[in-house]
Amino acid sequence: MKKLFLLLLTVLAFSSTGFAQENGIYIKLGEARTKKSLLAFPALQYFGSPTTASKYQSVGAELFKTVTNDLTVSSYFQFINQSAFLEDTSKTALMPAPGTPNGFNFQSWSAIGAEFLIRAGFSIVGNEITFETYVYHVAKANLVMGKKYKGPISSARRIAHTFSNDVLKALTGKEGMFLSRVVVSSDRSGGKAKEIFTMDWDGANVSQISNHRSISISPAWSPDGKKVAYTSYVKRVGSKFRNADMLIYDLTTGKRSLVSYRQGINSGAAFSPDGNHIYLTISQGNSPNIYKMSTDGSLVAKVTNGPAGAMNVEPAVSADSKLAYSSDRAGRPMIYTANSDGSNVKRITFAGVFNSSPSWSPDGKKIAFSGQSAGNFDIFVMNADGTGMIRLTSAKRPDGRAASNEDPSFSPDGRFVIYTSNRTGKNQIFISTVDGSEERRVTNDSYNYYKPKWSQNIE
């Protein structure tokens, strides 16, 4: 895990002779739902000795598969089947004719309707991989982006994710979320225990970061993606009982700190935007309320106070420090918002039986939450004032009953929501576009996952 954070990629930008690089926006945000851009992405070329091609075939396959999955999930592109290609791309250069000997012909790509073309290849010297990439706007025969990426062979997936982010930035003006990670509670360590795990956004590179052999839940990222706060039912020395204590794990140093161990519940961590404070639920033998705490464990303020013994739980903090949380002060748990000091409380959901797990979009304009109406939970997204609510999920379990979809979290670019669903019989991770138009499964195994949280892009 540390190696991933410390990894440095050399990125060299260059433009090809005879082509004017455009700085305009090629794909307008919001249009992908009704019209996807046709993208041609031929197989990668290997720039090396033919005798070593088979040795590094798996590296090229990983690069290609990762980029293809990233750009497919982005929902902006429809890939043209390689059987439709008019050129043998293994025999043409990555740059076009006539400026490049044996270059490709733009007409061959416009004839099959391609709007964009990616030509790329890789080479490996020692333990270092170089990924050479070109993105073209076919209609205008222009180079949109040309870059080389260098790094250890072990960083192939990260290089591919970086390229995918750069493609979206070049074509839409907004970076993708492909360098982000997910932290989640899971039973994949075996037995009845639940431990905390991190993984790439697409479910790869799973790493276990807790080993309490207990129930560890409700993880949360620090804003810089270097720390994870979570709650674990820890048995203290000399005690027969386990308490729901909060810990912070530093992914860079491997250091773990016990930060809130008041008797009762210490759970539901949400970092402040500056990373210096945590909002959490503390019970101390009374009805749970939300507190503000420094990352060293010292309490700063009690943010909510009932009323009349009401529970206030699951705080979420927006980029401008507004709070959203679940409270049963009106009888049934509903979603409320407030200022960071607890003032200006507003109830923003009024329907359903049980509304929980609010999550702010990165721009603070929307809130996702899990709502129960007829026995099962589904994911909803609404404007921050409660208007414009839409339902993202509706799925059946293998027995035909309605599945439960819970614990949403926004992607760092605000275009997706991640959540868990038991539609397969196990609690697996899924993502959906924020408008609900496309949904994909992230994990595909026999484990259960709980309360996933999405990080920012981690450089």
SS3 state of residue 165:
helix
- pLDDT for residue 15: 41
Q: Where are the domains of the chain?
A: 2-172, 181-454
The mean pLDDT of 299-316, rounded to a whole number, is: 96
- pLDDT for residue 241: 86
2-172 against 181-454: fold identical: no
- pLDDT for residue 415: 96
Contact 102, 92 (CB under 8 A): yes
Q: How confident is the model at residue 53 (pLDDT cuts 50, 70, 90)?
A: confident
Indicate the Cα dihedral angle 441, 443, 449, 450, nearest 10°.
-40
The mean pLDDT of 27-42, rounded to a whole number, is: 79
Q: How confident is the model at residue 31 (pLDDT cuts 50, 70, 90)?
A: very low
Residues 6+ apart with CB under 8 A from 343: none
- pLDDT for residue 19: 42
Q: Is the per-residue pLDDT at 319 higher than 50?
A: yes
- pLDDT for residue 438: 95
Report pLDDT digits (tens) over 427-459.
Answer: 999 999 999 999 999 999 999 999 999 999 997
- pLDDT for residue 353: 95
Q: Is the per-residue pLDDT at 3 higher than 90?
A: no
- pLDDT for residue 33: 53
For tokens 């004719």, the residue is 97
Q: Is the per-residue pLDDT at 1 higher than 80?
A: no
Going 338 to 344 to 349 to 354, the CA torsion angle's sign is positive
- According to CATH, what is the number of the domain 2-172? 3.40.50.10070
Q: Is the per-residue pLDDT at 61 higher than 80?
A: yes
- pLDDT for residue 359: 98
Report pLDDT digits (tens) over 345-379.
Answer: 999 999 999 999 999 999 999 999 999 988 899 99
The mean pLDDT of 142-166, rounded to a whole number, is: 97
Q: How confident is the model at residue 16 (pLDDT cuts 50, 70, 90)?
A: very low
- pLDDT for residue 23: 53
Report the C-alpha gap between 82 and 224 in whole angstroms. 40
Q: What is the mean pLDDT of the chain?
A: 92
Q: Is the per-residue pLDDT at 72 higher than 80?
A: yes
Q: Is the per-residue pLDDT at 301 higher than 50?
A: yes
Indicate the Cα dihedral angle 37, 202, 391, 290, nearest 10°.
-140
Q: How confident is the model at residue 34 (pLDDT cuts 50, 70, 90)?
A: low
Q: Is the per-residue pLDDT at 11 higher than 90?
A: no
- pLDDT for residue 12: 52
Report the C-alpha gap between 346 and 330 in whole angstroms. 12
Report the C-alpha gap between 129 and 152 in whole angstroms. 6
- pLDDT for residue 111: 98
Q: Is the per-residue pLDDT at 210 higher than 90?
A: yes
Q: How confident is the model at residue 28 (pLDDT cuts 50, 70, 90)?
A: confident
The mean pLDDT of 11-19, rounded to a whole number, is: 43
Which segment of 6-10, 136-140, 408-412 scores lowest on mean pLDDT? 6-10
Q: Where are the alpha helices (DSSP H) in 14-133?
A: 57-73, 106-110
The mean pLDDT of 93-103, rounded to a whole number, is: 95
Contact 184, 214 (CB under 8 A): no
Contact 286, 322 (CB under 8 A): no
Q: How confident is the model at residue 193 (pLDDT cuts 50, 70, 90)?
A: very high
Q: Is the per-residue pLDDT at 5 higher than 50?
A: no
The mean pLDDT of 246-267, rounded to a whole number, is: 96
For tokens 């293994």, the residue is 90
- pLDDT for residue 297: 96
- pLDDT for residue 106: 98
Q: How confident is the model at residue 48 (pLDDT cuts 50, 70, 90)?
A: confident
Architecture of domain 181-454: 6 Propeller (2.120)
Of the candidates 250, 234, 230, which has an alpha carbon nearest to the alpha carbon of residue 242? 234
Q: How confident is the model at residue 293 (pLDDT cuts 50, 70, 90)?
A: very high
Report pLDDT digits (tens) over 118-150.
Answer: 999 999 999 999 999 999 999 999 999 999 999
- What is the share, in percent, of the chain residues with pLDDT greater than 70? 93
